[in-house]
Every structure is written in structure tokens, then in C-alpha cells.
Amino acid sequence: MNLASTLNLIQNWLTLYALKAIVAIAIFFIGKWLARKLTKALLIVLNKKGMDITVINFVEGILYYSLLGIVLIITASQLGIETTSFIAILGAAGLAVGLALKDSLSNFASGIMLVIFKPFRVGDVIKTNGIIGTVQKVSIFNTILHSPDNQKIIIPNSKITTDNITNLTANDTRRIDMTIGIGYEDNIKKAKEILTQIISAHPKILKFPEPIIAVSELADSSVNFAVRPWVKTEDYWNVYFELIEKIKTTFDAQGISIPYPQQDVHLFLKNSPTS
């Protein structure tokens, strides 16, 4: 084979594979675009059917990456890679990666559990792992919360399913639990009447269940009242702050003290012995 034939063969080979590479690149980017479009189309359908946003967000991630995997296999086939062996290699690699990324797989499985059992939904305020926040999104591997001071908190799903979950907004009503202390020298009956008037006068406190106002403890420095009014969940913090301020100002005006921790020290003077 002379030089001209060799160069011609190389040129033909480069032309053939360059064309395959161009087609493969086109397949990849068009396929990726189609995967995104199909995913968005499905999300529109699910939204119209009124499906829960938590499920929609989770399905979005699974569908998109599944379609992207199919696009990668087609792209590899276009490049001349045997897809059967390629899938086998991917399976073996997937097993190895799965063992290496067992925590990620645990997060994925936990994400499925959160979607199926629905301990909370997008928009709920929850407490988990010592963190309180509003649920923004439940994705394949993690859950995104926004804290009350507007910080973005990302928690692995497995951390949530293995910890206690308190859904603070799951019910329509909540009870405000307050402990109000007065001095031992103050009039208990008068203090209770004042607390009752404050609770009864607040427009956002529910009449049923009936609020509880009772002496709960004789503490070291105070007589403590348990104050337990019920409110709509969305009114919880506004009512809580308003009650704290109203109780303090009313007690001050009525001469009821709110004591702070203190100790009485008694000194006994002993006469010096006579000589």
C-alpha cells in the first residue's frame, strides 16, 4: 500500500468518524433538549391534575435523569460503541458506584419514602434534626428548607427519615403554651382574673377548645401560672408576642410583679464570748 492509498484511507476514516461524532453530538444536545421539554410537559399535566407539588418535584428529577440516561446510550451507539456491552459495563459500574455511594442511595430511598408517606408537604413548617424551616422542595437526594430568618437549609433525606419530624403546620389550630410567674407576695386571684381578661379579650384566641389558666407550680422565686390558649396555626406567633407584651404592661399597671431568680440571705450575728 503506497502513501497515497494510506492517506486516502485515513482521510476516509476521519471523514466517516467525524460525521459520526457530529451526529452523536447533535443527538446528545437534541436529546437533552427533548428530555427537558418532555419533563416540563409532564409537569404541566401533573399540575393541571392537581397533584401535590412535593410529588411533582420528585418525579421531575427522576424522569429527567432517566431520559438523559437513554440519550447517553443512543449517543454511545452512534459512536459505534456496542450498547449491549455498554449497558453491561454500566451495570457493573453502577454496582461499584452504588457501593461507593451507599449514602446517596440511602438518601434516594428516603426521598421515595417522604413522597409516598407524606409526613409533610411543600409549604409546611417542620422541625427536624434540631432545625425549623419551611419546606421549599423535596428532591431526589435532599430536602430544602427556608429558615425563619430566610436561610436556605439543605438536609439529606436520610437524615430526615431517621430523625423525629414535627410538622408545625399540619393542623389548623395550635395551642400556645406559656408559663407566667408572679411573686409570692402578689394576689393569686387577682393575677388569674387579669390573665383571664387578657385571654378573653384577644380577638384571635379561640373560644373552643377553652383556654386553660391555672396555677401550675410553686417555684423557687415565683408562683407560676400555666396559660394555654388555642389559636389558628397562622396566628400563632403574632398572638404569642402580643400576649407577652400585654401581660407585662397590664401586670405593671395593676401592681403585679414578675419576679426574677433571687435568694434571701439571712445573717445571724453571734455575740463574741466574754473573757
pLDDT digits (tens, 9 = 90+) for 197-235: 999 999 999 999 999 999 999 998 899 999 999 999 999
Q: Out of 2.30.30.60, 1.10.3720.10, 3.30.1330.10, 3.30.70.1060, which CATH number does the structure's domain 119-167 have?
A: 2.30.30.60
Q: pLDDT averaged over the chain? A: 84
Among the ranges given (16-30, 44-58, 203-217), the one the predictor scored with the smallest mean pLDDT: 44-58
pLDDT score of 267: 72
Residue 273 in this model has a pLDDT that exceeds 70: no
Q: Which CATH class is domain 8-100?
A: mainly alpha
The count of residues in the chain is 275
Which residues, in sequence order, are bridge partners of residue 218?
A: 223
Whole-model pTM over 0.85: no
Distance CA 87, CA 13 (A): 26
The backbone torsions φ and ψ at residue 23, rounded to the nearest 5 degrees and listed phi first, read -65, -40
Q: Which of the pair, 72 or 273, is modelled with greater confidence? A: 72
* Domain segments of the chain as ranges: 8-100, 119-167, 173-254
* Highest-confidence segment of 11-25, 32-46, 145-159: 145-159
Strands (E), 129-264: 131-138, 142-146, 152-156, 166-167, 173-175, 178-182, 212-218, 223-228, 230-232
pLDDT score of 100: 47
Residue 11 in this model has a pLDDT that exceeds 70: no
Distance CA 247, CA 152 (A): 35
Same CATH topology for 8-100 and 119-167: the answer is: no
| Architecture of the domain delimited by 173-254 | 2-Layer Sandwich (3.30)
Cβ atoms 56, 39 nearer than 8 A: no
Kind plus residue range of the DSSP H or E element containing 61 = helix 53-78
